[in-house]
């Protein structure tokens, strides 16, 4: 697979890049992924159905509940053609390159690649409670990897959440590549504390205790635990209420520098965000303006203020 060092490596279901790999010879090309995310992500396509030897075109497959209650991935109208083990083994075989990724975009509803709510068929009617076989095993093998489906990227909050996690994962890989140290772990956590706080207070406290308990001798083990907890916490959607708490916390660093008029403008802008009158980018932009006049090292180093390229415009819609 080709590599562009300037871009972030992301796995993706091949059909979403316009590759004609679906059972009917078609594709599900996704313009936002290719045109917008493709500017920042090195998209690495993979189709597990092709990888296990299914041809194009081919009989479609689906998830089915067996008489024993097991979920199997079989060919439609021919349950003797069972691809469950092959798809699981296929995911196992991809672990080396998957662990180098910073995220993965899957095809919704796919019996091989669907992340959630895939139809499971039985004798009565299909129920949307399944996970694609390849996707399920991949998420078990690499549990910290940010994963999303293309359909859910249409939701502004889910889209921002996924892309934020991808950029954090990129920074984590860089931390490890530079040589993981206790000081490095502490610094990484410090720069992400406000982001974590915006997602979930319980994980914020848990991660703080975890870092505080780490020592030079066990930093490697603690870092593995930290990454799992971090990514689990970041999957929780950041709420407007939590963002307001973080914004007010950041505002506190300016209390000795702003005059009465500027303070009132900042308070009103945060209130306008709280009530939904303006998106998150508005108070963030105003805070960045004030901190350019009154620099603060902690805020300057915090990724909360600039979590990803502004050109993605993710904070304009949340």
Statement to judge: residues 22 and 141 lie in one domain: yes
Instruction: Answer yes or no: is 317 within a domain.
Output: yes
Statement to judge: residues 122 and 133 lie in one domain: yes
Instruction: Answer yes or no: is 3 within a domain.
Output: no
Instruction: Answer yes or no: is 109 within a domain.
Output: yes
d(CA 300, CA 296): 6
Statement to judge: residues 30 and 171 lie in one domain: no
Statement to judge: residues 48 and 145 lie in one domain: yes
Among 154, 182, 213, where does a domain finish? 154
Would you state the torsion angle of the CA atoms of residues 40, 45, 48, 54, taken in this order, to the nearest 10 degrees? 160
d(CA 198, CA 305): 12
Cis-peptide into 242, omega within 30 deg: no
Among 128, 154, 180, where does a domain finish? 154
Among 154, 170, 200, where does a domain finish? 154
Instruction: Answer yes or no: is 262 within a domain.
Output: yes
Instruction: Answer yes or no: is 2 within a domain.
Output: no
Statement to judge: residues 307 and 277 lie in one domain: yes
pLDDT per residue of the chain (318 residues) written in tens, 0 to 9: 455 668 999 999 999 999 999 988 888 889 999 999 999 999 999 999 999 999 999 999 999 998 888 999 999 989 899 999 999 999 999 999 999 999 999 999 999 999 999 999 987 789 999 999 999 999 999 999 999 999 999 999 999 999 999 999 999 999 999 999 999 999 999 999 999 999 999 999 999 999 999 998 999 999 999 999 999 999 999 999 999 999 999 999 999 999 999 999 999 999 999 999 999 999 999 999 999 999 999 999 999 999 999 999 999 999
Residues in the chain: 318
The pTM (predicted TM-score) of the whole model is 0.95
Statement to judge: residues 44 and 184 lie in one domain: no
List, as own/partner pairs, every contact residues 307-315 make where C-beta atoms lie below 8 angstroms and the sequence separation is at least 24, other chains included.
Answer: 307/164, 307/167, 307/168, 307/195, 308/163, 308/164, 308/167, 309/40, 311/39, 312/36, 312/40, 312/163, 313/281, 314/156, 314/159, 314/160, 314/163, 314/164, 315/160, 315/279, 315/280, 315/281, 315/284
279: containing domain: 156-318
Q: How many domains does the chain have?
A: 2
Statement to judge: residues 14 and 63 lie in one domain: yes
Six-digit token string for 127? 């129920």
Statement to judge: residues 112 and 222 lie in one domain: no
Statement to judge: residues 27 and 142 lie in one domain: yes
Statement to judge: residues 140 and 166 lie in one domain: no
Statement to judge: residues 182 and 283 lie in one domain: yes
Instruction: Answer yes or no: is 111 within a domain.
Output: yes
Instruction: Answer yes or no: is 1 within a domain.
Output: no
**Minimal CA–CA distance to 129: which of 141, 120, 121, 137?**
120
Statement to judge: residues 134 and 161 lie in one domain: no
């Amino acid at each position: 697979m080709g590599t562009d060092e300037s871009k972030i490596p992301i796995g993706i279901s091949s059909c979403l890049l316009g590759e004609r790999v679906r059972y009917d010879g078609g594709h599900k090309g996704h313009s936002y992924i290719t045109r917008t995310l493709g500017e920042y992500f090195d998209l690495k396509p993979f189709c597990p159905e092709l990888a296990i030897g299914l041809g194009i075109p081919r009989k479609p497959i689906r998830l089915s509940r067996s008489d024993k209650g097991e979920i199997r991935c079989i060919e439609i109208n021919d349950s003797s053609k069972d691809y469950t083990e092959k798809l699981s083994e296929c995911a196992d075989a991809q672990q080396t390159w998957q662990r180098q990724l910073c995220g993965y975009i899957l095809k919704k509803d796919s019996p091989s690649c669907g992340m959630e709510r895939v139809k499971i068929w039985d004798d009565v009617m299909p129920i949307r409670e399944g996970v694609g076989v390849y996707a399920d095993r991949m998420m078990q093998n690499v549990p910290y990897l940010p994963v999303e489906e293309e359909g859910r990227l249409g939701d502004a909050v889910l889209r921002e959440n996924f892309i934020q996690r991808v950029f954090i994962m990129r920074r984590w890989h860089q931390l490890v590549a530079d040589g993981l140290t206790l000081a490095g772990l502490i610094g990484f956590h410090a720069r992400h504390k406000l982001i974590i706080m915006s997602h979930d207070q319980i994980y914020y406290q848990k991660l703080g205790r975890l870092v505080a308990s780490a020592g030079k001798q066990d930093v490697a083990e603690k870092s593995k635990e930290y990454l799992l907890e971090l990514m689990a916490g970041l999957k929780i959607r950041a709420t407007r209420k939590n963002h307001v708490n973080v914004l007010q916390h950041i505002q506190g660093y300016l209390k000795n520098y702003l005059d009465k008029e500027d303070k009132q403008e900042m308070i009103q802008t945060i209130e306008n965000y709280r009530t939904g009158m303006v998106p998150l980018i508005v108070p963030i932009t105003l805070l960045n303006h004030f901190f350019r006049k009154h620099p603060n090292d902690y805020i300057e180093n915090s990724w909360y203020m600039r979590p990803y390229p502004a050109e993605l415009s993710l904070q304009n819609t949340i």
